[in-house]
């Protein structure tokens, strides 16, 4: 009994020492610049969000610079693997996005486990999608587009960017909920998609709102926003439920993760700073101009969101009989 008691005491002492050590490290964290890895190139909504947030985040982290590192690849896999294999000391972070969830749904195997190989820190932002058509095209609202598709099965082309992206899978979901048959045409980039919509190469395009926003009222017309509420910057554009298609909801999001095994005090510190920055009026207003809304939350909430999104997009892939990569 005495031996068991001594072992228990030793274990408790070791745990206490580890906790105190983690707390001490949190007090001196970060001790060098933080590397924030993004799985896509410069200029996109995620990149713009990270670059806007990084300086304000750095101010609360002992003034250490936050260096944005773009590592674009299909599904953001290269960036995610880079972070998953890094030391869990809080100096290497990942901008985790909807693409992280769609990659888990689309790829048979990944060089990491999305739910086990990362420490979830907190959500940063959420942004709407939009269904858009040519401003001089025949479709004045979503009902007329759906009616035309039903009248001519497989007679309409619907556009999105890359196969397996949230945008592409959102078109598959749209077809299923609307009960239509239509061809899906995918493009390598948003500018190519916008050109295809405006010229009538596709009758409607499905994209995140931010890069399309400058074209609305010019080359493009917004038919609906697939969100629960109207986008504040486009108060005249209805939600998909208001436009006659209840149940069709798609939003993209991003947040911050680190490698698995990060100490809890570091997670709490980073989450606290993300929450602080997300509440700054200048950050909120600037992001809103880009079609992005801040959406801070707990580490547990981000983990739950990821689980839900992987399950959701996996169902879309299965129901649409999309071949996994």
Q: From 186, 205, 224, give the residue that closes a domain.
A: 224
- Residue 231, in any domain of the structure: no
Same domain, 89 and 101: yes
First-to-last alpha carbon distance for the chain, in angstroms, is 57
Domain harbouring 287, CATH code: 3.40.190.150
- Residue 42, in any domain of the structure: yes
Could you give phi then psi for residue 196, rounded to 5 degrees? -65, -35
Same domain, 64 and 82: yes
Same domain, 157 and 296: no
Q: From 174, 208, 224, give the residue that closes a domain.
A: 224
The pLDDT of residue 322 is: 87
Q: Which of 1 and 48 is assigned the larger pLDDT? A: 48
Same domain, 85 and 149: no
The pLDDT of residue 27 is: 77
Same domain, 62 and 198: no
| Domain hosting residue 133, numbered range | 128-224
Q: What is the pLDDT of residues 203-248, one digit of tens each?
A: 999 999 988 999 999 999 999 999 999 998 899 999 999 999 999 9
Rounded CA-CA distance 69/11 in Å is 41
Q: Sign of the CA dihedral 234, 237, 241, 242? A: positive
Residue 280, C-beta contacts closer than 8 angstroms, at least 6 positions apart: 56
- Residue 44, in any domain of the structure: yes
Q: Which of 321 and 124 is assigned the larger pLDDT? A: 124
Same domain, 118 and 186: no
Q: What is the pLDDT of residues 148-176, one digit of tens each?
A: 999 999 999 999 988 888 999 999 999 99
Residue 33 burial (CB count, 10 A): 13
- Residue 80, in any domain of the structure: yes
Tokens standing for 303?
């983990």
Q: What is the DSSP letter of 123?
A: E
Same domain, 136 and 121: no
Region 120-140: mean pLDDT is 96
Q: From 181, 209, 224, give the residue that closes a domain.
A: 224
Q: What is the pLDDT of residues 43-100, one digit of tens each?
A: 778 888 999 999 999 999 999 999 999 998 888 999 999 999 999 999 999 999 999 9
Tokens standing for 211?
């890069």
Same domain, 121 and 140: no
- Residue 244, in any domain of the structure: no
When divided into structural domains, the chain yields a total of 2
Same domain, 104 and 133: no
Domain harbouring 166, CATH code: 3.40.190.10
Same domain, 197 and 261: no
- Residue 218, in any domain of the structure: yes
Same domain, 295 and 146: no
- Residue 47, in any domain of the structure: yes
- Residue 6, in any domain of the structure: no
Tokens standing for 86?
């890094």
Same domain, 138 and 203: yes
């Amino acid at each position: 009994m005495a031996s068991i008691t001594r072992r228990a005491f030793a274990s408790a002492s070791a745990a206490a020492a580890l906790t105190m050590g983690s707390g001490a490290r949190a007090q001196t964290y970060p001790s060098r610049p933080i590397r924030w890895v993004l799985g896509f190139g410069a200029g996109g909504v995620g990149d713009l969000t990270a670059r806007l947030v990084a300086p304000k985040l750095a101010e609360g982290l002992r003034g250490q610079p936050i260096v944005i590192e773009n590592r674009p690849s299909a599904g953001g896999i290269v960036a995610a693997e880079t972070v998953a294999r890094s030391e869990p000391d809080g100096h290497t972070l990942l901008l985790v996005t909807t693409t992280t969830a769609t990659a888990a749904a689309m790829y048979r195997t990944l060089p990491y486990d999305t739910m086990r190989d990362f420490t979830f820190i907190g959500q940063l932002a959420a942004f709407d999608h939009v269904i858009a058509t040519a401003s001089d095209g025949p479709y004045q609202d979503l009902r007329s587009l759906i009616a035309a598709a039903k009248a001519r099965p497989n007679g309409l082309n619907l556009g999105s960017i890359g196969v397996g992206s949230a945008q592409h899978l959102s078109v598959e979901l749209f077809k299923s909920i609307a009960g239509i048959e239509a061809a899906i045409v995918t493009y390598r980039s948003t500018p190519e998609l916008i050109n295809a919509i405006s010229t009538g190469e596709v009758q409607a395009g499905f994209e995140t709102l931010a890069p399309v926003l400058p074209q609305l009222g010019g080359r493009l017309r917004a038919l609906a926003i697939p969100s629960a509420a109207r986008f504040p910057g486009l108060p005249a554009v209805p939600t998909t439920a208001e436009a006659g298609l209840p149940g069709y909801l798609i939003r993209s999001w991003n947040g911050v993760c680190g490698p698995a095994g990060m100490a809890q005090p570091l997670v709490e510190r980073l989450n606290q700073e993300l929450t602080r920055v997300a509440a700054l009026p200048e950050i909120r207003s600037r992001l809103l101009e880009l079609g992005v809304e801040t959406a801070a939350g707990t580490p547990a909430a981000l983990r739950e969101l990821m689980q839900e999104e992987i399950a959701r997009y996996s169902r879309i892939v299965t129901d649409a009989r999309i071949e996994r990569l």
